[in-house]
Amino acid sequence: MEVYLDTIAKALGRTPSDITGISPLGAGMTNRSCIFSMDGRKYVLRMPGEGTGRILDRRKEHDVYDVLKGTGLCENVIYFDISGGLKISEFLEGSRSCDPENAEDVRACMAFLRNFHERAFTVGHSVDIFERIDFYEGLGRGSAMPLPDYEETKAKVFRLKGLIASMPGALSLTHMDAVPENFLILEGGMRLIDWEYAAMQDPLVDIALFALQSMYGSSQLDSLLESYFPEGCPYEARVKVSCYMASCGLMNSNWCGCMDFQGGEFAEYRRRQYDYAREYCETALRLKRPPAER
């Protein structure tokens, strides 16, 4: 934090001595954050984690925040350094993260997410999940722990690419990291924060990513879909979400490998994500068959 004091002061038009109350906010899987105060107001400083420069384009992230500015959907960004990824935003007093085991929280998050998706924002960049699988695999090659039946599983996952393309759906701005901790619940409102992976994609990807991060089982995924589609989940949407559970599970697993998360909780997280890839390949391929053949 200390190395950023001059940058913070300059960004806010003050001096380093005006910065008080510095305390860690926590370390995510990608970045570190802390809270600081100035003139009685609290701010959040996002400090990019080691290695993020290999996988993230901060100019694209900045473009996303430009599109969302003033919408009330995201955090209020005060300063953004495109070259290094340093970000200062207003601290949302009284906020808390979504509890993925709390049905009321989840319903609120899915209603918020659907409202965001239906507004169909656009940016000038997109993301290809299958390209990301290969990209992260390449970065992690030689250092990532081996996974059972990887080539066979990957081949099955890539079979889903054609299945996804065969079903209708329009691209729009998708968060691409819509996990419970990024939904901040406030008195009478909500914000979705940390848009560094956001890009044009199928919005249904966000549902899959929420379920994957929450380590949901099949019945919990069903409930999640019911929360997003209170009018009833279209069958093709269920098939596509299963495809995204598989493909994003493999993408997440390879991301962990390239970020060198080889020990402790991250190793377990990587294995769980890979298990989703294996399981939901079979689910998606089964769901695509006519009812009589399932």
| 113-154 pLDDT, tens digit each | 999 999 999 999 999 999 999 999 998 876 566 788 999 999
Question: What local confidence, expressed as pLDDT, does residue 290 receive?
Answer: 53
Question: What local confidence, expressed as pLDDT, does residue 141 receive?
Answer: 75
pLDDT bracket for residue 260 (50, 70, 90) = low
Fold of 96-293: Aminoglycoside 3'-phosphotransferase; Chain: A, domain 2 (3.90.1200)
Question: What local confidence, expressed as pLDDT, does residue 263 receive?
Answer: 45
Question: What local confidence, expressed as pLDDT, does residue 266 receive?
Answer: 76
Question: What local confidence, expressed as pLDDT, does residue 163 receive?
Answer: 95
pLDDT digits (tens, 9 = 90+) for 40-91: 899 999 988 766 778 899 999 999 999 999 999 999 999 999 988 899 999 9
**Does the domain formed by 2-90 have CATH 3.30.200.20?**
yes
Question: What local confidence, expressed as pLDDT, does residue 294 receive?
Answer: 46
> CATH 3.90.1200.10 region(s) of the chain?
96-293
Residue with the bigger pLDDT between 260 and 200: it is: 200
Question: What local confidence, expressed as pLDDT, does residue 167 receive?
Answer: 93
pLDDT bracket for residue 262 (50, 70, 90) = very low
Give the pTM: 0.92
Whose CA is closest to 55, among 134, 172, 144? 134
> CATH 3.30.200.20 region(s) of the chain?
2-90
Question: What local confidence, expressed as pLDDT, does residue 291 receive?
Answer: 57
